[in-house]
Structures are given as C-alpha cells and as structure tokens.
Amino acid sequence: MAVAGYDKLNLDLIFSGLDRLPVQGEELYAKRFAVKIGGGYFASLAVAANLGVDAKWVGAVGEGAFSEFLRAEIASLPLRIEELASGAMPFNLTAAAVTPEDRTFLSYGGDPFRPTAGVLYATLKGYRHVLTADGFHDVYRKLKAEGAVLLYDRGYDPAMRLADYADRLSLCDWYFPNRKEAMRLTERSSVEEAAAVLSEFLDPVIVKGDREGVYCLSGGKGRWLRLRHRFEAVDATGAGDAFLGGFLYGLEQGYDLEKTLAAAMAAGGTAVEAVGCLGKMLTAEQMESLLKKEGY
C-alpha cells in the first residue's frame, strides 16, 4: 500500500476577482464565487491519487447539507477514504478572499473530532508513506519503526516556535514549510538562513518559495530549483497542498530528489491555474509530458 494520511476536511467558500480586501464596516462584491472541497492532506492525497498513486484519506465527513456536498465532491475523485466518525460538522469551514497579491482566510473549526491512537494506528499500518498530523507521536513513531516514511506539512501559525516543533521535525523524514512558515518558525529573515536552522533536524531541507520555485538544502549545499514552464495564476489556494501531492507521486515513482521536486512544482503550479485546491489536477500522462519538456 502506498500513501495514507489523517486530517480534517476543509469546505472552502472562495470569493475571487477582488481588487482589494474590505476595510472594517465595508462591503465589497467579488466578481466570482465558488464552493470547493478544501485543502490540507485531503487535497494532497487527492492530487496524488489523480496521478495514479494508491492513496487513502482518513477522517470524518459528518452529516448535514455541507457534508452531503463534500460526499458528492469526494465521489468524483479517485481517492479511497476511511471514515472514523460521524457528526454534524467535523470539518473546517473557510471563507477565502482572493486578491491579486494574496489570499486571506476566515475559518471556523467545526465540531471537535480526534480518533483514538489505537484506531489511527490500525488505519495507517502497512502504508509506505504516511502524512502526519499534530499529536499522535507514539503512533507515528511506531509506524516509522515498522518502515513507514513520515511526511509533515502544516499551515502557518504566528505563534509557531521551533521548540514546539522539534520532536516532530526529528521524527519526520520530510517537512514542507513555505518561506513564511520557515522564517517564522526559525526566527530568521531569509529562506536560506531558515533552511540552515532546519538542517539541524532534516536533510534534505525543502522550503516552498511560491513563484521563486523551491529551495533545497542537502548535504550542506543549498540551491533554488525552478521550472521553465510558466503557469497562469488564477487562485493560489491549495498550491502547497498540490505540491505535496506531486512530491508523493515522485516518491512512489522512485525519482531522484530533483525530479521529485520538479513533479511537486508541476502539481503545485497546475493547481493555481483554477479556483480551489482541486480545480485543476494533472494526470500521470500530463505530468510525464511536462517533466519531459523540463528535461527529466
């Protein structure tokens, strides 16, 4: 079995075509609106599954109108799911406002839901690559001892501190911060400096640089990697999640690190060309064609 991960679902209400954000007390009308299944590990696994990877998402969908929408979206994806619980709203609800410069989010965490350690272990046991959620260190440590490769990718938190992440970074084989997260976590002012700090825990260190590509520090040598192909950006929501999906594809194909990162950038770049995390995904044939054009 290939890839599995536990995470909460997201339901994204996406307001795009905005020139700017409203100030307090002001109402603006977006030119476009969409309701999409959201990001996180679910999106990463869906992108990997669309590339032909045997991928399973573990979590809860819930009950009610929002959950029915999510189930319909999930049914259209080549992704296996394993539900661990039900409830009115065991997912995140996010309103995303997209401007030419960036995105802004307003989220509600939904009903609390966490599986027991025993249940989570049973659902992830036997997978080669496991996406790790916060907590459950004993579960992931046991899976790693059994041969699983552990990957970690969580969102930005202004209060994130390296001391709080040290155990997780030491445990995981791969970590995928973007430049903002890496610099905040390490309290450094550049991607290169942040990567040097993270190299105390990981080798290679990977930092997503958005339009600049990806910075990779391996064996003490760092460099920026970029694709020649230029993607037409519409909405950057979920680009980082798609990046991880492409990376999983590269791992499963047995590519070397540079080609794996090229696959990750291709998946992430493709995601920005449509609204929503899963608005546009590559097939394996499309991925291989793009990689060939890049010289891989």
pLDDT in tens, 62-81: 888 999 999 999 999 999 99
What pLDDT, on the 0 to 100 scale, is given for residue 157? Answer: 84
Range name among 4-13, 30-39, 131-140 with the lowest pLDDT average: 30-39
- Mean pLDDT over residues 83-98, rounded? 85
* Span 177-214, pLDDT tens digits: 999 999 999 999 999 999 999 999 999 999 999 889 99
* Span 172-186, pLDDT tens digits: 999 999 999 999 999
For the chain, state the CA radius of gyration: 18
β-pair partners for 29 = none
- Asked if the model's pLDDT at residue 171 lies above 90, the reply is yes
- Asked if the model's pLDDT at residue 234 lies above 90, the reply is no
DSSP string, 190-205: SHHHHHHHHTTT-SSE
| Apex 191 CA angle, 170 and 269, nearest 5 | 95
Q: At what angle do helices 239-253 and 41-50 cross, to 10 degrees?
A: 50
Q: At what angle do helices 239-253 and 257-271 cross, to 10 degrees?
A: 150
Contacts of 284 by beta carbon, 8 Å cutoff, 6+ apart: 51, 52, 249
What pLDDT, on the 0 to 100 scale, is given for residue 188? Answer: 96
Mean pLDDT of the chain, nearest integer: 92
What pLDDT, on the 0 to 100 scale, is given for residue 102? Answer: 80
What pairing do the DSSP bridges indicate for beta strands 214-218 and 205-208? antiparallel
Share of the chain above pLDDT 90, in %: 72
- Mean pLDDT over residues 143-150, rounded? 97
* Burial tier of 117 (Cβ tally within 10 Å: 0-12, 13-18, 19+): middle
